[in-house]
Copies of this chain bind each other. A is one copy, B any other.
Amino acid sequence: MNLKELSSLLGLSQTTVSRALNGYPEVSEKTRARVVQAAQAHAYSPNTRAQGLATGHSKCIGHVISVSDSAEMVNPIFGDFMAGAGETYSAHGYDMMVTRVGTQDEADTYRSLKARGAVDGIVVHAPRRNDARLALLDKIGLPYVVHGRSTGIKTPYSWLDVNNTRAFSEATSYLASLGHSRIALINGQETMDFAIRRRSGYESSLRFAGLSIDSALMSTGEMTEAYGYTQANAMLELDQPPTAFLAASIICAAGIRRALDERGLRVGQDVSIATFDDCLSYFGNGGDQPVFTAWQSSVRAAGATLAQMLIDRIRAPHAPHITTLWEAEFVLGASTGSAPGTSKD
């Protein structure tokens, strides 16, 4: 069923039917009702491609997952982000396109997405410091919003970020206030802007607390369970092992806990764990008694909000940029306690 068929069926012109369905005022309410009903009855939906050709918009948003070819990792965060974004998209009649690409082909992918007119805008994931993608997107004229920020980029752009510096600063201070002086940071990959911010929050609080910054207590890597486990184990072998861990993700934190459990160390008593928590649906940290003491911020909510920001941006490409900074929420869990030897224990 297409426009031509539907309109001849109704004895109307294509113009009128099209206008009726798209809510234009030039058509009487009576005929509009008739058209809408007929469209529903015959399950007519305008052909996306034809509509796109005629309007010049694809009504589609692109997400590029860049997969470093060596590791082939897909962060589970992505799924939750897309669920949030997808909700917004479908509410506004947008489709969502996902492209998987090796990191070195990323620029070509953006260019192609634009040249082919495949998408009206894109979400930039996992921005790096001085991320070259932003300038590229500006140059080719593809609207975008950034999930996170890119330190060093001078030109304005729209972003939504969690205050990572603050969260990790608070977390570090919190652990220090419990008497911990050897606090380890199990960070994400420090090519990512957010990881850099997290480290700086951590370091500044260490300094503020008068604690030494020990590179042996800092690690950076892909935030897998195995990574948390391996790093925790390595650090616990040190002459002066940490008494507290600060993890970049609840998945890492799970790995750290495994290392502690395996060594017979009691989490929250012998060794503390605090973590950032993206509120992934498959790794709940809620309930009456949260497992981990955490600074949390829902990545699903971020997806929903960023999607809205992008849609607004596509509608008004020259509107001033919107930037949003969310504060992570503190949740006290069972994984932290006073440092061993401090006060009562």
User: Is A287 positioned at the interface, with any CB of B under 8 Å from its CB?
Assistant: yes
Q: Which residues of B contact A78 (CB under 8 A)?
A: 79
Q: A76-B76, A117-B48 are in contact. Are A225 and B281 (CB under 8 A)?
A: no
Contact A49 B254 (CB under 8 A): no
How many Å lie between the Cα of A82 and that of B65 in the bound state?
Answer: 10
Contact A118 B281 (CB under 8 A): no
How many Å lie between the Cα of A54 and that of B96 in the bound state?
Answer: 23
Q: Interface size for chain A: under 10, 10 to 19, 20 to 34, or 35 or more residues?
A: 35 or more
Contact B117 A75 (CB under 8 A): no
How many Å lie between the Cα of A52 and that of B117 in the bound state?
Answer: 12
**Which of these, B73, B80, B99, B281, contacts A71 with CB under 8 Å?**
B281
Q: Which residues of B contact A115 (CB under 8 A)?
A: 1, 43-45
User: Is A137 positioned at the interface, with any CB of B under 8 Å from its CB?
Assistant: no
Contact B74 A82 (CB under 8 A): yes
A interface with B by C-beta (< 8 Å): 1, 43-50, 52-53, 58, 60, 65, 67, 71-76, 78-80, 82-83, 86-87, 89-90, 95-101, 111-112, 115-118, 222-226, 251, 254, 257-258, 261, 280-284, 287, 291, 300
